[in-house]
Chains A and B, each alone.
Chain A
Amino acid sequence: MLRDITLGQYYPASSVLHRLDPRVKLVATLAFIVSLFAFGSVSSYFVATIALAVVIKLSRVPFRFITKGLKAIFILMLITVIFNLFLTPGTPVLEVWKFTITMEGIRTAAFMAIRLIYLIMGSSIMTLTTTPNDLTDGMEKGLGFLKVFHVPVHEIAMMMSIALRFIPILMDETDKIMKAQMARGADFESGNLIQKAKNMVPLLVPLFISAFRRANDLAMAMEARGYHGGEGRTKMHPLEYKKTDKTAYVILLMYLLLMFLTSRYVKIETWLGF
């Protein structure tokens, strides 16, 4: 079942972005986020907006999935915007009761909001177009150099992919156990805090037992198939950069250069007068 292989996020589609090497996507997302914070000017945000729009178009993921993540940070964004709006000193524009809204305040608040929104949308595109397994594969290979410093990269990646693989299974199981106990009259909603914690016992005991049993079975199955850690292990689908991946890196470099140049030399702010 598809819902078993993925963690809520992934949106299956056939697009250039889906086929891209996960390392490219990781690096590009990181670079995109850094660029948002490093180059803060109206003109460079214009560039970032176009880049983001093109990537969204290329990903073939419906727009509403990309903006889903924004709901989660709405409160955080509201607080940031309000603080910046009222607490930045500078040229006053408007007075509301004891607070003054300044020109600089509006500017910082708007920039902050754009940064947060683009940050969430950018990373959403990555998780929507990459399966969790590909992501950990990408991290394992991309961070492989850390092995020199005795970081157990393979083991960490393996633990991550197992954890990711098991989250939907355990969520499914939680749902089933809750239903089985509700059929026996269990109540998971009402009561005070202590009551609620006590009511969780019929859910948690079967869940833990099943998690341990699964872990045990998995360890056994892995050993039976000769798993012995990362040393000398080969991959069925080794990650290798293809032509599109290299093209993507070139495009990324061009994007960064454009961001840099526009933030340095194209001062839309001064033309507009702020």
Chain B
Amino acid sequence: MVLKTEHLNYIYGAGTAFEKQALKDINLDIPENQFIGIIGHTGSGKSTLIQHLNGLIRATSGAIYADGKNIYEDGYDKKTLRSKVGLVFQYPEHQLFETDVFSDVCFGPKNLGLCTEEIEERAREALSQVGLDHSYYRKSPFELSGGQKRRVAIAGILAMHPDVLILDEPTAGLDPRGRDEILDQIEKLQKEQKITVLLVSHSMEDVANYVKRIIVMNKGQVLYDDVPSRVFEHYQELETVGLAAPQVTYVTQTLKSQGWDIDTSVTTIEEAKQAILKALNK
């Protein structure tokens, strides 16, 4: 499924004393099979934007097209849209409610009206995709650790077989290892299933290693929308909006400013290593 937003605006509490324009003129194209990062400081409108993409929030003005159809048109089937555009919210506590992990993951496919076998098949598949085996099936979701809860929440959406998977800050509050594990699994999933993944984060470091495109949000607007290396060229501007480029950008930029002939478009540590070795050998 391809998504397209056109001049999207959203105002919270329109007509009250607490009016707040959360989105300003957002124009985005989300194609199939792409790994995208959405980055922005807290309050920059990331969560608001992604809730538009599956029709949970209706834009104040502007339009969203899903496979070319305007989702705000009368009679558009929002329920199907929501099953195609899977959204995992930031706090897994907001969606876990069943007595055990397995039934909780079954909730989504059950709402799609599938037969029991199909539902259970999908739940097993989704749980293995996020790296949870049989021993977790009958556990209460409330006795799991933060990282495990998050995996269950992601599985709950994966079981609906979305074309577009949106994750709102899936690494917030996790330790570095838990973070890497989850991100590795998401990457693997994206490659295998060839789905589009939108990864929301406020940390460049998190997404730099994974995504092929970065959308930088600032004060409700899209500041940059480009491949990572091009976005990181603006590392000084990024700092002024409360973000930072990955540390390797600073390393290579510093080396370059000291007269080294080095490729500054690297984004991962491995690439940086190669670039430095290459510069040394020159």
Q: Which residues of A contact B (CB under 8 A)?
A: 2-3, 11-12, 65, 173, 176-177, 179-187, 201-202, 205-206, 209-210
Contacts and interface: CB of A to CB of B under 8 A. Distances in A.
Interface string B84-120: 0011110101111100000000011001100000000
B79 interface: yes
B89 A179 contact: yes
B48 to A, nearest CB: 11
Contacts of A179: 51, 56, 89
Interface of B: 13, 17-18, 51, 54, 56, 79, 82-83, 86-89, 91, 93-97, 107-108, 111-112, 142, 156-157, 160
B94 A184 contact: no
A187 B77 CA distance: 13
A87 to B, nearest CB: 40
Chain A contact residues: helix, strand, loop or mixed: helix
15 contacts: A2-B18, A11-B17, A176-B91, A177-B94, A180-B89, A182-B56, A183-B54, A183-B56, A183-B86, A184-B95, A184-B157, A185-B83, A185-B112, A185-B160, A187-B79
B93 A206 contact: yes
B111 A209 contact: no
Contacts, number: 62
A3 to B, nearest CB: 5
Given A3-B18, A179-B89, A209-B142, A184 B107 contact: yes
Contact of B111 (A184, A205, A210): A184
Given A183-B54, A184-B107, A202-B107, 13 more contacts: A3-B18, A179-B51, A180-B89, A180-B94, A183-B82, A185-B107, A185-B111, A185-B112, A186-B111, A201-B97, A205-B97, A206-B93, A206-B95
A210 B51 CA distance: 22
Given A202-B107, A209-B142, A183 B87 contact: yes
A205 B142 CA distance: 11
A200 to B, nearest CB: 11
Contact of B13 (A3, A11, A184, A202): A3
The listed residue with most A CB atoms (<10 A of its CB), out of B51, B83, B95, B156, is B95
Contacts of B156: 184
Given A205-B97, A206-B96, A183 B157 contact: yes
Contact of A176 (B13, B17, B89): B89
Nearest to B91: A176
A118 B279 CA distance: 81
Nearest to B82: A183
B160 A206 contact: no
Nearest to B55: A182
B49 to A, nearest CB: 14
A186 B160 CA distance: 12
Contact of B17 (A12, A183, A206): A12
Nearest to A10: B17
Contacts of A201: 97
A185 B108 contact: yes
The listed residue with most B CB atoms (<10 A of its CB), out of A173, A180, A185, A202, is A180
A13 to B, nearest CB: 8
Contacts of A205: 97
A2 B13 CA distance: 12
Contacts of B56: 179, 182-183
Nearest to A202: B97
A176 B94 contact: yes
Nearest to A176: B94
Contacts of B107: 184-186, 202
The listed residue with most A CB atoms (<10 A of its CB), out of B97, B111, B142, B156, is B97
B82 A177 contact: no
Contacts of A65: 17
A182 B94 CA distance: 11
B42 to A, nearest CB: 11
A185 B96 contact: no
Contacts of A185: 79, 82-83, 107-108, 111-112, 160
A30 B86 CA distance: 53
B142 A180 contact: no
A12 B79 CA distance: 39
A109 B56 CA distance: 46
Nearest to A62: B17
Contacts of B18: 2-3
Contacts of B96: 206
Nearest to B92: A180
Contacts of B54: 183
A202 B95 CA distance: 7
A181 B83 contact: no
B93 A184 contact: no
B160 A184 contact: yes
Contacts of A182: 56, 82
Contact of A180 (B17, B95, B111): B95
Contacts of A181: 95
